[in-house]
């Protein structure tokens, strides 16, 4: 793969948005998008965790799993790295910045099971990114995810005063909104191709 | 509850996708072809049933504080089995499913069932619950992929059914259609199955 990290970063936000084209991180996307503030908090936490775990997992994969020939254990190792990092982050934030902990802390446990985090680690291995590319892809994916959840949260706030068919309320209408957003993002797809 | 009731509740009444809106990620990503959906569905049924059984067997010896980690590791072990099996026997499909097999680990359905059912119920009940939940999940996947493959490629399970006159709908192959079809499915089921009142 010889795409520059810069291109990869933009591609991860717009043309290959982790949520709108790869469908990753849907669970917390649908459940935490009721309020803009909490959507923003979770999004920031996702960006941070994605950046660090994609770097960590890249190092672990290339300097630990490959030399020892235990690549088949990658799922277990990746999920442990992610869970351990999230736990560590929670402790550090709680100890040093209690204010941040109260606004961000509640989202941290949710992040371990956010499939976007594991998904980015698996994509970077499958697509053979080097270290810089992986980190750029991680940051870009995080920002793309934040963008998607913020847009949905904003639209859902507007929807509160509108009449929605009863069977579509809640998840149904959110999925339709997401579909329209995904359709809009298809418009970016001609710019770069990374898949 | 009898075993049959547990099964029916897990598969239909409390279906994880249309009722609890869990596990959407993979439900949307692998539904462009029916064969992919079928394999993915079978993988999830196996993982769910076995993980539920194992978690339930050791539920009395698992300390509460680390149970999430234990559950995740058990699930991850079964996912590795599925992944290795697919790579060895169906390399073509394994390649198409890509990271989504590995992502069964973070599929909310598995953690949800482990937490809500398997950690509180006896092994056999948990096993039945796992099969039921998995079948409910596979059913939704097959429904969505039926529509997407039929309109997107004019075929079912790879066999052409619509013939030469059919012009493929490109949108059905692309990401947005998955969101729309799932939303419509939820709408129809809410209206006719749960009889949501206006």
Among B84, B106, B194, most A C-beta atoms within 10 A, so best to mutate, is B106
For residue B123, give its domain range: 3-197
Query: Which residue numbers of B have CB closer than 8 Å to A's CBs?
Result: 21-26, 28-29, 68-69, 72-73, 76-77, 79-80, 83-84, 98-99, 102-103, 105-108, 111, 174-180, 182-183, 186-191, 196-198
Question: Is residue A106 pLDDT above 90, yes or no?
Answer: no
Q: Which chain B residue has the Cα nearest residue A180?
A: B176
pLDDT in tens, B142-189: 999 999 999 998 888 888 888 788 888 888 888 889 999 999 999 998
Is A167 close to B72, i.e. CB distance below 8 A? no
Distance of alpha carbon A137 from alpha carbon B114, whole angstroms: 32
Hey, is A95 helix, strand or coil?
Answer: helix
Say if A195 falls within a structural domain.
Answer: no
Question: Is residue A1 pLDDT above 70, yes or no?
Answer: no
If one compares B19 and B128, the residue with the highest pLDDT of the two is B128
Nearest to B133 by CA among B55, B35, B18, B26: B18
DSSP result, B135-156: HHHHHHHHHHHHHHHHHHHSEE
Give the tokens for residue A101.
Answer: 């902990």
Question: Which position has the token pair 């998904």?
Answer: A119
pLDDT in tens, A108-135: 777 877 888 999 999 999 889 999 999 9
ipTM for the complex shown: 0.85
Nearest to A147 by CA among A53, A34, A43: A43
Distance of alpha carbon B84 from alpha carbon A132, whole angstroms: 29
Question: Which position has the token pair 């941290």?
Answer: A108
pLDDT value, residue B99: 86
Distance of alpha carbon A127 from alpha carbon A134, whole angstroms: 10
CA distance to A74, B95, B131, per residue, from B86 (Å): 16, 9, 20
pLDDT value, residue A181: 92
Q: To the nearest whole percent, how much of chain B has pLDDT over 70? A: 98
Among left, alpha and beta (phi > 0; psi -120 to 50; other), residue A102 is alpha
Question: Is residue A173 pLDDT above 60, yes or no?
Answer: yes
Say if A91 falls within a structural domain.
Answer: yes
Question: Is residue B80 pLDDT above 90, yes or no?
Answer: yes
pLDDT value, residue B62: 85
Give the tokens for residue B34.
Answer: 């029916």
**pLDDT band for position A195 (50/70/90)?**
low
Distance of alpha carbon B149 from alpha carbon B133, whole angstroms: 24
Q: Which chain A residue has the Cα nearest residue B190?
A: A167
Question: Is residue B197 pLDDT above 70, yes or no?
Answer: no
Beta bridge partners of B155: B160
**DSSP for residue B167:** P
Q: How many domains does chain A have?
A: 1
Nearest to B36 by CA among B90, B105, B103: B90
Nearest to B17 by CA among B133, B101, B132: B133
Q: What is the mean pLDDT of chain B?
A: 88
pLDDT in tens, B11-51: 888 888 888 888 888 778 888 889 999 999 999 999 999 99
Is B183 close to A21, i.e. CB distance below 8 A? no
**pLDDT band for position A105 (50/70/90)?**
low
Q: To the nearest whole percent, how much of chain A has pLDDT over 90? A: 37
- A173 close to A159: Cβ distance less than 8 angstroms: yes
For residue A174, give its domain range: 5-190
- A124 close to A134: Cβ distance less than 8 angstroms: yes
Question: Is residue A194 pLDDT above 80, yes or no?
Answer: no
Say if A83 falls within a structural domain.
Answer: yes
Give the tokens for residue B165.
Answer: 């006159």
Say if A182 falls within a structural domain.
Answer: yes
Distance of alpha carbon A165 from alpha carbon B187, whole angstroms: 9
Instruction: List chain B residues with CB under 8 Å of A22.
Output: 29
- A5 close to A132: Cβ distance less than 8 angstroms: yes
Q: How many domains does chain B have?
A: 1
């Amino acid at each position: 793969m010889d795409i520059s990290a810069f291109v990869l970063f933009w591609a991860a936000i717009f043309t290959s948005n982790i949520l709108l084209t790869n469908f990753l991180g849907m669970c917390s996307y649908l459940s935490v998008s009721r309020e803009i503030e909490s959507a923003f908090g979770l999004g920031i936490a996702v960006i941070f965790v994605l950046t660090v775990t994609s770097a960590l997992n890249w190092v672990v994969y290339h300097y630990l799993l490959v030399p020892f020939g235990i690549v088949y254990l990658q799922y277990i190792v990746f999920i442990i790295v992610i869970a351990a990092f999230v736990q560590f982050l929670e402790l550090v934030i709680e100890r040093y910045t209690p204010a941040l902990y109260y606004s961000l802390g509640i989202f941290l446990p949710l992040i371990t099971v956010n499939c976007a985090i594991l998904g980015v680690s698996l994509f970077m291995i499958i697509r053979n990114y080097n270290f810089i590319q992986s980190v750029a892809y991680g940051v870009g994916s995080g920002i793309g995810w934040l963008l998607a959840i913020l847009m949905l949260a904003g639209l859902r706030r507007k929807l509160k005063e509108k009449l929605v068919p009863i069977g579509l309320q809640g998840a149904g209408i959110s999925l339709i909104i997401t579909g329209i957003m995904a359709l809009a993002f298809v418009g970016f797809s001609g710019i770069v191709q990374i898949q | 509850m009898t075993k049959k009731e547990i099964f029916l509740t897990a598969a239909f009444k409390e279906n994880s996708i249309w009722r609890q809106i869990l596990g959407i990620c993979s439900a949307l990503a692998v539904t462009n072809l029916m064969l992919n959906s079928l394999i993915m569905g079978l993988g999830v049924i196996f993982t769910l049933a076995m993980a539920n059984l194992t978690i339930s067997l050791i539920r009395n010896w698992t300390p509460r504080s680390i149970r999430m980690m234990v559950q995740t590791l058990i699930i991850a072990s079964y996912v590795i089995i599925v992944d290795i099996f697919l790579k060895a026997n169906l390399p073509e499909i394994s390649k198409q499913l890509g990271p989504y097999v590995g992502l069964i680990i973070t599929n909310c359905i598995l953690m949800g069932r482990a937490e809500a059912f398997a950690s509180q119920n006896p092994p056999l009940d948990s096993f039945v619950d796992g099969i039921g939940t998995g079948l409910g999940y596979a059913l939704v996947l097959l429904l969505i992929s039926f529509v997407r493959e039929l309109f997107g490629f004019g075929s079912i399970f790879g066999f052409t059914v619509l013939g030469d006159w059919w012009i493929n709908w490109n949108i059905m192959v692309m990401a947005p259609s998955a969101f729309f079809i799932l939303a419509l499915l939820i709408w129809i089921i809410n209206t006719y199955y749960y009889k949501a009142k206006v």
